[in-house]
Structure 1
């Protein structure tokens, strides 16, 4: 999809986002990652009494819903079948691009039919893994923004009482030595999770959530936003 400002490359029929460019830039996503680990929808779900399972909701078919000078919309769908190991949902992922817009939209429709297996969904979100050499400054709000560690700094650091908390002992940026990196430090209340993202010298990559009506847990439930990677979560 392209509108002359933003160009988005999607896999067919899976519906993964493998490339995002802005005004002719290089790919803003992490090209060192495999194509299924750059931009994707996923759910974390559990069967009754089971362990967490992650499903990237890969489509098995696709359809162009609209394509005109003002609006392009593409649908990627998958249909659940009895005996499948995937989350028991029919899924319709949509990507939308509008004329003269410096971004793109995405939403998903989940359908569970009567009689299908019971399960719980812990997370349902879209994820982007950005180019680490370009994006090193993260902004969650006017008050919460900073230069972030590199992903390698977590591997060279010291893991503390739980895996997400790492003491930075040999960070790429010496000014960050002695800090603790923990993605949960950048959680926020659902009611405040409206805009967050990453900034480079010439472009920003932002996650904008226009409504919280799809979120569970209420306005004061905390959830993840952006964190070291650079990773961007809806």
Structure 2
């Protein structure tokens, strides 16, 4: 699926629309919430029953310095200013920024947050990344979690895929309601006792069942069979995730919900929480990640979209670091160093010596 149309940007009073002829992405202005994704004849792949602030968004969890644990206050990151960073036929990049000043002390974490969205010509999807900055003179805080959330249409997306051997038709969000489920040991886990589709009766639904180690968490998402559409979140690198390659992270779950996790204390606890100290400056680029949309044109099985998504994931990984993000805070390939060589690991409990190239 391709088109010769260049990327177009339409700026309205309360929204901006990015359009490359393959899809249209609608974002609230200046808040930077994704309110609509139009693709393959579907007016909106997101859950249009939800309020506009509850369809596609960045959010975070923060707590006051000195606090312990992984919980805190949640902020759905809302921009206060909008600007166009790049606009030409090949690429559009837009910015939704929120700043901070001492009058917001205790209400929001002391961060400048710049949410960016990018659409490229002849690309079946869009990219998003965030630039987070904390100045040394600002009050410190803890930051347990940062993520992107997409809530897809529950009428359309029923099949979820996380890996080759972890994919299936999923219960509806309605099945988690009080009249259709029984609460278990913690809020995320419920027993389905009267689901809309009887085949799910007796199952336990729990979003943690679908977690994945970072090293394997490169693509996951949902499939709609009528019309045939796939929505996939592709993470091309682990350099901006916390916890390392074997850290577990959330993926997709009943909603249908799709997550891009950047900072997360899940499965690790308080030691994984980012804790800024007094007088400590901090700046971090999170992403870009790619939201890939695909379809079939030859009557193929809709589940073949998973194989196509994996091929696109390989393309994105091979393209890292991307050359197109406009922020000077995202170093391009020619601005990065390279390390090569061998590690010598001596096992002092025995006589083994390991060479790792």
**TM-score of the superposition, structure 1-length normalised?**
0.98
Match of 1:218 in 2: 244
1:84-127 Cα offsets, whole Å, 9 max, x none, are 11121101100000001010000000001002222121111111
Match of 1:184 in 2: 208
Match of 2:258 in 1: 232
Say whether residues 1:99 and 2:121 are aligned partners: yes
State the secondary structure of the residue aligned to 1:83. Answer: helix
Say whether residues 1:193 and 2:226 are aligned partners: no
Moved over 4 A (4+): none
Q: Aligned equivalents of 1:24 and 1:153: distance in 2?
A: 28
Say whether residues 1:121 and 2:138 are aligned partners: no
Match of 2:46 in 1: 29
Q: Aligned equivalents of 2:24 and 2:41: distance in 1?
A: 8
State the secondary structure of the residue aligned to 1:33. Answer: coil
Say whether residues 1:72 and 2:92 are aligned partners: yes
Cα drift, residue 12 of structure 1: 0.5
State the secondary structure of the residue aligned to 1:125. Answer: strand
The match for 2:188 among 136, 149, 164 is 164
Which structure has the greater CA radius of gyration? 2
Q: Aligned equivalents of 2:222 and 2:115: distance in 1?
A: 24
Cα drift, residue 24 of structure 1: 3.3
- Over the residues paired in the alignment, what is the CA RMSD in angstroms? 1.0
Match of 1:16 in 2: 33
List runs of 5+ in structure 2 lacking aligned partners.
1-17, 261-357
State the secondary structure of the residue aligned to 1:27. Answer: coil
Alpha-carbon contact 2:221-2:230 (below 8 Å) kept: yes
Q: Greater CA deviation, 21-30 or 154-163?
A: 21-30
Q: Greater CA deviation, 151-160 or 20-29?
A: 20-29
Match of 2:338 in 1: none
State the secondary structure of the residue aligned to 1:63. Answer: strand
Alpha-carbon contact 1:151-1:228 (below 8 Å) kept: yes
Match of 1:206 in 2: 232
State the secondary structure of the residue aligned to 2:255. Answer: coil
Q: Aligned equivalents of 1:116 and 1:214: distance in 2?
A: 23
**TM-score of the superposition, structure 2-length normalised?**
0.64
Match of 2:268 in 1: none
State the secondary structure of the residue aligned to 2:85. Answer: strand
Q: Aligned equivalents of 1:186 and 1:96: distance in 2?
A: 28
State the secondary structure of the residue aligned to 1:32. Answer: coil
1:177-205 Cα offsets, whole Å, 9 max, x none, are 10100000011111111100000111001
